[in-house]
Structure 1
């Protein structure tokens, strides 16, 4: 398991799709700080309470292109490695891999590598963005009402008592769900060899869930809403955890069972 996992992790993180996607995301973050955040912080209407890393980070994540990036998360996280299983099958590369490891170990290694690339691709630039802001702006104590966060949203007390933990919390849940969306795309490769279908399946599921929650008046159940650091009212941490565990279990079970049978045909 160790050798095939190391091999898949190397393919995932050293591959050009991951490096290019991460590089472009990081470049945008730097551009955002230089040409959007800093000019905004220099505006006359900005108060001392507003020129803090936390305020600027939340404001950036809720406006402009970053809000769009959160919406299109499922399309971004599949780019590094979710298509790899379909590609391996299409090129009969799995025949070579099965010489090195058992089928189940290969599938599990593929699942882990895909999950990690999706999560890291999405979260790492957001975390670096906040770290850079802490180096550029003073971290003044915040008072309730300072941040543009909805009252009653998840972890709002933590936001004011320990902003760094608040950032880490949202980075963690975004990492978990970004990884989950990446393995959804990976699992789609069980049924098609077309990369564009693999990449679109998680986004279609994302849209369907968002639409159902919107029409049912349950925005606090929509990942597209509760993953935003700006928060959504009445979001439940228990629901977020249980939903993620349930979906990950189902996805992993389907991928291992169907994948194993698929290779036996």
Structure 2
């Protein structure tokens, strides 16, 4: 069996710390609690739909509650969905976002960089932070999708019953292949969840309180979201990361190009800052 390189071993260690730690368990438990809260709406809704069909029979004018209209990522009428969207940055940062801050404070990084370069250490750290943040965000979305599918039928969406405009991102995909649309948006949430978790790494260089480090991305992103929404007619809302990750596409004019470019810019800036810090700290 081929032995791992020093970088590979370091990445394996960091991933183990990220996914086996108590903060990840807390994040997953929080996501599961949100799903459980959402199920308190879905189960009665399923029974209500079944009762209506049993009483009046199928009618062309009646569309029963469906999976794609009510899963956690799309349903913006319930407390669970709104809570998930609001806490999404915190779920991303909680598992491993403060790890670099913690390691530098405790001197763990000094022990590691005595055997590998600081650049290798920061890259492994960033990869683990990204992966943990992405998983923590998509966990409740994926679990809720399966749970909601157990109670509600996967009826193909109709333009008259759904809020996504025809000009919205992937709108044709949503109405033709809704499951692919849902899975694509879960992937978007994974990518943004990973990037948001990396922002907590950057926050550790600006603030010196662990609680502030883990909550800083949530505070900043929602300030940006409210600021963009306050522009005339809310024209800038479509560029807010908190609107870009929302499968319901509440903001008008969201495009894949803008989403991809913004994610690449934010991720690139985060990686660039960490690379700069690695070189600077290496010289100390």
Q: Using the TM superposition, give the Cα deviation of residue 204 of structure 1 relative to its aligned residue in structure 2, in angstroms.
A: 3.1
Q: 1:163-196, CA deviations, whole angstroms, 9 ceiling, x for partnerless residues?
A: 1111111111111111111101111223444212
2:58 aligned residue? none
1:243 aligned residue? 262
Residues in 2 aligned to 1:23 and 1:86: alpha-carbon distance in whole angstroms: 23
Q: Which moved more, 1:81-90 or 1:96-105?
A: 96-105
Residues in 2 aligned to 1:103 and 1:46: alpha-carbon distance in whole angstroms: 63
Residue 224 (str. 1) matches residue 238 (str. 2) = no
Residues in 2 aligned to 1:24 and 1:215: alpha-carbon distance in whole angstroms: 30
Residue 49 (str. 1) matches residue 63 (str. 2) = yes
SS of residue matched to 1:60 = coil
Q: Which moved more, 1:245-254 or 1:43-52?
A: 43-52
Check whether the contact 1:61–1:228 (CA below 8 A) recurs between aligned residues: no
Stretches of structure 1 that go unaligned for 5 or more consecutive residues are none
Q: 1:60-111, CA deviations, whole angstroms, 9 ceiling, x for partnerless residues?
A: 3553132132123222211111111111111111122123422111000000
What are the equivalent positions in structure 2 for 1:1-265 lying under 5 Å apart? 1-33=7-39, 35-43=40-48, 49-57=63-71, 60-216=75-231, 217=234, 218-231=236-249, 232-262=251-281, 264-265=283-284
Check whether the contact 1:185–1:201 (CA below 8 A) recurs between aligned residues: yes
Q: Using the TM superposition, give the Cα deviation of residue 26 of structure 1 relative to its aligned residue in structure 2, in angstroms.
A: 1.6
Residues 120/61 of structure 1: CA separation in 2 closer, same or farther (3 Å cut): farther
Q: Which moved more, 1:45-54 or 1:180-189?
A: 45-54
TM-score (norm 1): 0.91
Residues in 1 aligned to 2:8 and 2:228: alpha-carbon distance in whole angstroms: 41
Q: 1:191-227, CA deviations, whole angstroms, 9 ceiling, x for partnerless residues?
A: 4442122123212321332133122222111122232
Residues 219/31 of structure 1: CA separation in 2 closer, same or farther (3 Å cut): closer
Q: Which has the greater radius of gyration? A: 2
Q: Which moved more, 1:102-111 or 1:123-132?
A: 123-132
Q: Which moved more, 1:185-194 or 1:53-62?
A: 53-62
Check whether the contact 1:122–1:178 (CA below 8 A) recurs between aligned residues: yes
Check whether the contact 1:26–1:125 (CA below 8 A) recurs between aligned residues: yes
Residues in 1 aligned to 2:101 and 2:153: alpha-carbon distance in whole angstroms: 48
Check whether the contact 2:97–2:198 (CA below 8 A) recurs between aligned residues: yes
